[in-house]
C-alpha cells in the first residue's frame, strides 16, 4: 500500500511544534522564550520533522486501512519514499491481510458415522483390563517368562567404562513392557532368581540422550527375583473399588457398560468431527497469513517443548525446530478462519444451558462430578474452553446438514483402540 501525505499537512504540524519549542527554548545570547523562530528552525527542524514523520506515518497508515477497508495481520514493513521536503512525505507499507472467505458448497463430501453395539464380550474384556490394572505380583521359583516381573541390578559399560545413568539397583521390570532398549528385556527371558547375565546391546541411533545414540554397550545384569502377575477375582471387594456397593456383579457390569457407552459416544463424536473439519478444509482452500501460521507454530513448539522437558531436570534448554510444526499450524489457522466464517454466516451462538450440559458431561468422567462442575464455573479460562467446544460442535452440526452422512459398522475395540 502506497501512502502519500501532502507537504502542507507536514509543514503545518512542523511549524506548530517549532513555535511551541520557541516559547520555552533557552539558548545562549537570548532571553528564555525570545529565541527567533529562524534560529529555532535551523536548530530543531530535522528533529521535529523526524517526529512528525513517525506520527503522521502511524495515523495515515490506519486512515488508509480504513479507507481501503483492509484488515492487516501483524506489523507492516515500512519503506520511506525519497521525497524533497516541499513534496511532503510518502512511504510503502507491505503487510499481510486477512483472507476474504466465501464459504463454498460441500460438494459430494461423505462423512461416515461409526455405529457400534457394545456386546457382553466387550464388557468382559473391559473387566479384564480393570483387573490387570490392579494386578499384584507373586514370587516364583521358575524361569522368567514374557509378562513376568523381574527385579534386577545392572551396570552399563561403553568401551569397558561405566557411563552416566547406566547403572541402577533393585529395578522392577516387566518383560515385554518395552521400557528398556531393544534386546534388554529379550535377553532376560528364561532367567531365574540369583542368576547373572551379560547383554551386549546397541543404543538406537535416535536415542534421546545424544551422547549414547548409536553406541554399543555392555550390561552386566543380576536377577534378584522373578514374580508372576496375580489378577484379582471379580468379587465384592473388587467391585467396591469402583464405587459399586450394592447390586453385586450385575450392578458392576451395568456401571462398566455405562462408562463404555460414554467413552464410545466421545470417540464417535471425535471421529465425526475430524471428518467434518477435513470436509470444511477441502471445500474452502484459502491462503493463510504467514504471520499467523508462525505464531501458531511457535505456540505448538512451546507446548511440545514443555511436555518434552517435563520431569527432566537439567533438560529445560532443549529446543525443537519450529519448521516441524508449520504444516499443522497452517492447518489450524486455516480451519480457525473458516470456522469463524461459518459461525458468522450461520449465525451460530452458544447459550448457557448448552455450556452447562457440556460441563456436566465432562464432569461425569470424574469421581466427584459436583466438584468438577464447581471448578469450571470458578475458572473463566476453563469455562471459555468449554464454550469453544460447544461452538465447535455446532459448527460440526452445520457441516452435517450440508454433506451426506453414512453409517459405518464398527466394533468397540477398533474405535477406542482397546483391541489387544
Q: How far apart are CA 100 and CA 70, in angstroms?
A: 10
Mean pLDDT of 266-272: 94
Please state the separation of Cα 303 from the chain's center in Å: 6
Please state the separation of Cα 390 from the chain's center in Å: 19
pLDDT band at 353 (very low <50, low <70, confident <90, very high): very high
Q: What is the mean pLDDT of the chain?
A: 91
- Is residue 162 within 8 Å of 155, Cβ to Cβ? yes
> What's the pLDDT score for residue 317?
60
Residue count of the chain: 420
Query: Where are the alpha helices (H) located in 104-235, listed in sequence order?
Result: 120-133
pLDDT band at 273 (very low <50, low <70, confident <90, very high): very high
> What's the pLDDT score for residue 320?
85
Q: How far apart are CA 346 and CA 393, in angstroms?
A: 13
Kindly state the cell numbers that stand for 185. Answer: 528385556
> What's the pLDDT score for residue 24?
79
For residue 187, the 8-state DSSP code is G
Reduced 3-state DSSP string for 60-84: HHHHHHHHHCCCEEEEEEEEECCCC
| Residues facing 112 on adjacent strands | 406
Mean pLDDT of 310-320: 61
> What's the pLDDT score for residue 13?
87
Class of domain 2-96: alpha beta
Mean pLDDT of 65-86: 88
> What's the pLDDT score for residue 1?
93
Q: How far apart are CA 329 and CA 320, in angstroms?
A: 15
pLDDT band at 202 (very low <50, low <70, confident <90, very high): very high
Mean pLDDT of 171-195: 95
Mean pLDDT of 330-350: 95
- Is residue 192 within 8 Å of 226, Cβ to Cβ? yes
**Element (H or E) spanning 397, and its range?**
helix 380-400
> Dihedrals φ, ψ of 61, to 5°?
-60, -50
Q: What percent of the chain has pLDDT over 70?
A: 97
> What's the pLDDT score for residue 312?
52
Q: How far apart are CA 408 and CA 320, in angstroms?
A: 40
Q: With the C-alpha atoms ordered 231, 232, 235, 238, is the resulting torsion angle positive or negative?
A: negative
Architecture in CATH of 136-230 = Roll (3.10)
Q: Does domain 110-120+237-416 have CATH number 1.10.3120.10?
A: yes
pLDDT surpasses 80 at 326? yes
Sequence-distant (6+) residues with CB within 8 A of 402 are 105, 106
Domain boundaries, the chain: 2-96, 110-120+237-416, 136-230
The string of pLDDT tens digits covering residues 244-265 is 888 899 999 999 999 999 999 9
Q: How far apart are CA 362 and CA 263, in angstroms?
A: 11
pLDDT surpasses 90 at 48? no
> What's the pLDDT score for residue 420?
42
> What's the pLDDT score for residue 267?
94
> What's the pLDDT score for residue 60?
92
Q: With the C-alpha atoms ordered 35, 36, 42, 46, is the resulting torsion angle positive or negative?
A: positive
Sequence-distant (6+) residues with CB within 8 A of 200 are 216, 217, 218
pLDDT band at 311 (very low <50, low <70, confident <90, very high): low
pLDDT band at 364 (very low <50, low <70, confident <90, very high): confident
* Residue recorded with cell 457440556: 358
Q: What is the pTM of this model?
A: 0.71
The string of pLDDT tens digits covering residues 383-399 is 999 999 999 999 999 99
Cα–Cα distances in Å, from 87 out to 11, 81, 275, 324?
10, 11, 58, 49
The string of pLDDT tens digits covering residues 94-144 is 999 999 899 999 888 999 999 999 999 999 999 999 999 999 999 999 999
Helix, strand, coil fractions of the chain, as percent rounded to 5: 50, 20, 30
Q: How far apart are CA 353 and CA 358, in angstroms?
A: 9
Query: Pairing between strand 195-202 and 216-230?
Result: antiparallel
Amino acid at each position: 500500500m502506497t501512502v502519500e501525505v501532502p507537504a502542507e499537512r507536514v509543514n503545518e504540524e512542523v511549524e506548530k511544534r517549532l513555535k511551541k519549542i520557541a516559547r520555552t527554548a533557552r539558548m545562549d545570547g537570548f532571553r528564555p522564550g525570545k529565541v527567533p523562530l529562524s534560529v529555532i528552525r535551523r536548530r530543531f527542524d530535522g528533529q521535529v520533522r523526524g517526529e512528525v514523520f513517525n506520527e503522521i506515518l502511524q495515523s495515515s497508515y490506519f486512515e488508509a486501512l480504513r479507507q481501503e477497508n483492509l484488515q492487516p495481520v501483524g506489523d507492516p514493513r515500512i519503506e520511506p519514499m525519497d521525497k524533497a521536503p516541499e513534496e511532503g512525505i510518502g512511504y510503502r507499507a507491505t503487510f499481510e491481510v486477512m483472507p476474504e472467505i466465501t464459504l463454498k458448497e460441500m460438494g459430494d463430501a461423505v462423512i461416515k458415522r461409526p455405529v457400534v453395539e457394545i456386546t457382553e464380550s466387550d464388557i468382559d474384556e473391559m473387566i479384564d483390563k480393570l483387573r490387570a490394572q490392579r494386578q499384584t505380583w507373586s514370587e516364583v521359583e521358575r524361569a522368567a517368562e514374557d509378562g513376568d516381573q523381574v527385579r534386577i541390578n545392572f551396570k552399563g559399560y561403553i568401551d569397558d567404562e561405566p557411563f552416566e545413568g547406566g547403572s541402577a539397583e533393585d529395578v522392577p521390570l516387566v518383560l515385554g513392557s518395552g521400557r528398556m532398549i531393544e534386546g534388554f528385556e529379550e535377553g532376560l527371558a528364561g532367567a531365574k532368581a540369583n542368576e547373572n547375565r551379560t547383554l551386549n546391546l546397541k543404543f538406537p541411533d535416535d536415542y534421546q540422550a545424544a551422547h549414547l545414540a548409536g553406541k554399543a554397550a555392555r550390561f552386566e545384569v543380576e536377577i534378584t527375583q522373578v514374580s508372576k502377575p496375580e489378577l484379582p477375582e471379580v468379587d465384592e471387594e473388587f467391585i467396591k473399588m469402583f464405587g459399586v456397593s450394592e447390586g453385586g456383579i450385575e450392578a458392576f457390569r451395568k456401571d462398566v457398560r455405562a462408562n463404555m457407552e460414554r467413552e464410545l459416544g466421545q470417540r464417535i463424536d471425535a471421529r465425526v468431527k475430524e471428518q467434518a473439519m477435513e470436509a470444511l478444509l477441502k471445500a474452502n482452500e484459502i491462503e493463510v497469513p504467514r504471520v499467523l501460521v508462525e505464531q501458531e507454530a511457535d505456540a505448538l513448539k512451546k507446548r511440545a517443548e514443555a511436555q518434552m522437558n517435563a520431569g527432566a531436570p537439567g533438560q529445560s534448554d532443549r529446543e525443537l525446530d519450529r519448521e516441524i510444526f508449520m504444516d499443522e499450524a497452517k492447518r489450524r489457522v486455516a480451519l480457525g478462519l473458516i470456522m469463524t466464517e461459518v459461525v458468522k454466516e450461520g449465525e451460530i451462538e452458544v447459550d448457557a444451558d448448552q455450556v452447562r450440559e457440556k460441563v456436566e458431561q465432562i464432569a461425569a468422567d470424574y469421581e466427584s462430578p459436583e466438584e468438577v462442575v464447581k471448578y469450571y464455573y470458578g475458572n473463566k479460562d476453563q469455562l471459555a474452553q468449554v464454550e469453544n467446544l460447544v461452538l465447535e460442535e455446532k459448527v460440526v452440526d452445520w457441516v452435517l446438514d450440508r454433506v451426506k452422512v453414512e453409517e459405518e459398522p464398527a466394533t468397540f475395540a477398533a474405535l477406542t483402540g482397546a483391541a489387544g
